[in-house]
Amino acid sequence: MPAPTAPPETAGAAVPAGRAPARPRPAARRRAAALFLLLPALVALGVFFVLPLLDIVMRSFTDPEPGAGNYLSLFTDGYTLRVLGRTLLVALIVTVAGVLLAYPYAYMMTLASPTTRAVMVTVVLVPFWTSMLARNFAWMVLMQDGGVVQGLLSLVGLNGVRLLGTTTGVAVSMIQVLLPFMVLPMYSVMQQIDRRLLLAGQSLGASRLSSFRKVYLPLSLPGIVSGASLVFVLALGFYVTPALLGSPQGALIAQVIAVRTRELLDFGGAGALGVFILVVTLISLGVSRRLAGSGAASGAAHVMAGGGGR
């Protein structure tokens, strides 16, 4: 089958810049080379992302009948907005808790010896290397009534704390899975901070705390923002974790989309809901970018690609 070799062959034909002018200017040639390198990714994005997305948007306005009916129903069916609000709240809690956990962790990574650092990275990445279902069922067994977590909590006098089937339980598991997305961008920004700046601050009379607050914290802010926006966006789309560890009464938006697609076969309505979430996501990304100044989101590029363990 010619399919696997097709992109390189045709990509070769797509570089007319080489034969256009007799002596191509360096800038033009560089741009051609850049396009050549980008081409496979652009084609893949176009065919597998942009076209399907356009299809979803079209359907959301045309299926079952033309108009904005699918969008209006999101606001009138009585539960979508409530579930969306809950999803945003959970994503926010996961993000804030994640920052509080990840910041000291990433900070310690910059101070640790290379060996210790390797161990720390491994520990934070372990959830990635476990099957998503195995991990969620493990949480289920840990958090169930009479399980390990309840046992530990009752040792310190907290009896009958229910986690399985609650939004708290879902959030705890989400924080664990999403921690690498928080730690790694923070670490990559923090390791570039020149620690002598802290000493300089202290030599000018600042206390350790205020030199941290006025020098280190602002310099590490891009890492916080890129980690936080990544985690927030990923948390909005969680499906398996709330389905297994939560309860329908605490359903998140992905479960409502699943009902519309798989049970109601309402592709248009599900598409409208998806587009709505996409808009909300873009808005929150825009806000975070503005908060941190441009370029902050580039820290996110240091994180491995792919949505890991949703």
Partner 1 sequence: MRHRYLRPLLATATLVAATAACGSGADSTAGASKSLTWASTGGQFQEDEKKALQEPFTAKTGTTFANVSPADASQVKAMVAAGRTTWDLANMSWIYAGAYCGQQYEKLDDPALDRGKFPPGTTHDCFVPTYRYANVFSYNADLFKGEQPTKIADFFDVKRFPGKRIVQDYPKSGLLEAALVADGVAPDQVYPLDLERALRKLDTIKSSLVFAPSYGAVQQMMVDRQGSMVLTVTARTIVTSQSGANLKPVWDFTTTDIGALVIPKGSPNKALAQKALAFITEPAQAEAYAKLTGTAPARADVDIDKIGYSDVQKTFNAFLPDRGTLLEQDKPWWIKNTDMVTKRWTSWKVS
Contact footprint for partner 1 (CB under 8 A): 1-3, 6-7, 10-11, 13-14, 16-17, 20, 28, 31-32, 35, 39, 42-43, 46-47, 77-79, 82-83, 137, 140-141, 144-146, 164-165, 243-244, 247-249, 251, 255-256, 259, 261-265, 267
By beta-carbon proximity to partner 1, the closer residue of 224 and 256 is 256
Return the sign of the alpha-carbon dihedral for residues 219, 223, 226, 229. Answer: negative
- Residue 139, CB-side half-sphere exposure with 13 Å CA sphere: 28
By beta-carbon proximity to partner 1, the closer residue of 11 and 99 is 11
Cα–Cα distances (Å) from 307 to 95, 128, 177, 181, 238, in that order, read 16, 10, 10, 10, 10
Residue 249 CB, nearest approach to partner 1 (Å): 7
Quote the CA–CA distance of 274 and 186 in Å, as a whole number: 30
By beta-carbon proximity to partner 1, the closer residue of 3 and 305 is 3
Residue 62 CB, nearest approach to partner 1 (Å): 13
By beta-carbon proximity to partner 1, the closer residue of 141 and 291 is 141
How far is Cα of residue 175 from the mean position of the Cα atoms in its chain? 12
Residues 6+ apart with CB under 8 A from 35: 14, 15
Residue 42 CB, nearest approach to partner 1 (Å): 7
Residue 119 CB, nearest approach to partner 1 (Å): 33
Residue 3 CB, nearest approach to partner 1 (Å): 4
Return the sign of the alpha-carbon dihedral for residues 291, 297, 303, 306. Answer: positive
**Could you tell me what percentage of the chain is helix, strand and coil, using 3-state DSSP and rounding each to the nearest 5?**
80, 0, 20
Return the CA Rg of the chain: 24
By beta-carbon proximity to partner 1, the closer residue of 126 and 264 is 264
Residue 246 CB, nearest approach to partner 1 (Å): 9
By beta-carbon proximity to partner 1, the closer residue of 178 and 245 is 245
Query: Are the C-beta atoms of 150 and 268 separated by less than 8 Å?
Result: no
